[in-house]
Structure 1
Amino acid sequence: MDGARVSLGPVGGVGRETGGEGGLFSLLRRRRSTRCFAGRAVDREQVGGLLWAAQGETGEGHRVGPSAHGLYPLGVTLIAGAVEGLDPGAYRYEAGAHELRPVAEGDLRERVAGTTLVDREWLREAPALLLLSGDLAAATRHFADQPPRGLRGQRYVWLEAGHASQNVYLRAAEAGLGAVLVAGFDDELLRGVRPSLLPYGHEPLGLMAVGFPAE
């Protein structure tokens, strides 16, 4: 090895035979974090596409993102404020049926935004929020024999949350929507918004604001 640099060819490894800058390459280029949303509602099908991208099923027990040992410990709760076809409230996404189950009534965006560390003023303006949560305790027990003990299972859950959030980012880019992941919030305050906001045994992992970007 003489230290000479080696060219990797076209950026992204995309050649003419795969369509140039289309498809995934284009989505990765366009993905941006959006913190300023237009005063415009999103519709139920658009939100459904984002939820499916986060945790949708793809057949034979698989989901859109990888999961260590196929545990799938993540949950997604939709906090709807301005979603056409949905009353304001919180809804649990049920991946198997691709359905929403109501868990709390009323527009909770203001209260949820108030649990964040620095994002309250703009987060409450997003028409919808996706709350990612995970059963860290179950993952810890399942992977208890893997070092470092007590930590390995939790690391897998956090990695899975990263997969889910990137999927949402890419689906939003494809649909002409904006998205951003917020991980800075007070866990206890968030739990206190409504007891039903999180699935039983779950810890909050991240909030994703979604909607049409402001011009």
Structure 2
Amino acid sequence: MFDDFWAASRYSTLHQRRLGDRLRDFRPQPALIDPLELPTAPLPLPRPHDRLQKLFQARRSTREFSDEPLTDRQLGTVLSALSDNSYPSAGGLNPLRCYVFARGRALRYDIRRHAVQDIGPAPADLAEILGTPDAPPLTIVLVLTDKDSFEKYGERAGRFGLIEAGAAAQNVCLRLAEQKLGGYLLGGVADNEMLHCLGLPRELRVATAIACGHMIT
């Protein structure tokens, strides 16, 4: 059943164009009182002012990047957000895999070894596959290889995989903020086209992708 959900929500370049039309025509409703709010008066809580809270506040979603590429040190620092068991994985199965587009190349990031392997040139139509106006300086793609997860947990594994990918993506975004870099999650990646350009089988799942780079000041 989760496969049916995934197939129904899969995107192609045609779906990207339809989404663009939908977003253009969308008009949000005016803000109303939250229907789940309780009638009792809310009690304010103290806010922390530590380094972590400042990092939360520094995170920025930006769609405009300068042409400056990331250095090897910056690339290693950003990708290290996925290493050292820094996010939860149901049953310790670790189905999450990471791929990178940087400096015109497609790379596989080995999370366990904190190392990259060259796949080949990035596709000429990368921006179209990502659903972005231009190809970002750095794109991080998170893929789920979740066969073992489904054998262990059944349909619930679908939720577990998305939780894992979300936690990993947040780690990356916070590391971007710490490095004074910008980034945003891409919700309209063309699934099969992305798997194809990475040389991956179609039964894998593109959980999300993150566009990254130096912010324009």
Q: So what's the TM-score if we normalise by structure 1? A: 0.76
Alignment partner of 1:113 out of 104, 112, 127: 127
> 1 or 2, which has the higher strand percentage?
1
1:183-209 C-alpha deviation (Å, 9 max, x unpaired)? 2122122222241xx489632111111
Paired with 1:135 and 1:107, the residues of 2 have a C-alpha distance of 22
Shift of 1:89: 1.5
Q: 1:30-179 alignment to 2 at 5 Å? A: 30-53=58-81, 55-57=82-84, 63-81=85-103, 88-102=104-118, 104-108=119-123, 110-116=124-130, 119-122=131-134, 124=135, 126-144=136-154, 151-179=155-183
SS in 2 for 1:133: strand
Shift of 1:138: 2.5
Kindly indicate whether the alpha-carbon contact (under 8 Å) linking 1:76 and 1:93 is maintained by their aligned counterparts in 2. Answer: yes
1:103-128 C-alpha deviation (Å, 9 max, x unpaired)? x22233x4232123xx3313x1x211
Q: How many residues were matched structurally?
A: 180
Paired with 2:120 and 2:141, the residues of 1 have a C-alpha distance of 16
Shift of 1:67: 0.9
User: What is the root-mean-square deviation in Å for CA atoms of aligned residues?
Assistant: 2.0
SS in 2 for 1:143: helix
Q: Cα distance 1:101–1:50, how it changes in 2: closer, same or farther (>3 A)?
A: same
Kindly indicate whether the alpha-carbon contact (under 8 Å) linking 2:62 and 2:184 is maintained by their aligned counterparts in 1. Answer: yes
Partner of 1:190: 194
1:9 matched to 2:45: yes
1:55-75 C-alpha deviation (Å, 9 max, x unpaired)? 202xxxxx1001111111100
SS in 2 for 1:207: strand
Alignment partner of 2:210 out of 197, 208, 211: 208
SS in 2 for 1:190: helix
Kindly indicate whether the alpha-carbon contact (under 8 Å) linking 2:55 and 2:174 is maintained by their aligned counterparts in 1. Answer: yes
Kindly indicate whether the alpha-carbon contact (under 8 Å) linking 1:76 and 1:130 is maintained by their aligned counterparts in 2. Answer: yes
Query: Where in structure 2 are there 5+ consecutive unaligned residues?
Result: 1-37
Q: So what's the TM-score if we normalise by structure 2? A: 0.76
Paired with 2:64 and 2:105, the residues of 1 have a C-alpha distance of 22
Q: 1:16-27 alignment to 2 at 5 Å? A: 20=49, 22-27=50-55
Kindly indicate whether the alpha-carbon contact (under 8 Å) linking 1:66 and 1:163 is maintained by their aligned counterparts in 2. Answer: yes
1:33-73 C-alpha deviation (Å, 9 max, x unpaired)? 111001111111111111111x202xxxxx10011111111
Q: Taking CA–CA contacts closer than 8 Å with sequence separation of 6 or more, which of the two structures ends up with the larger relative contact order?
A: 2
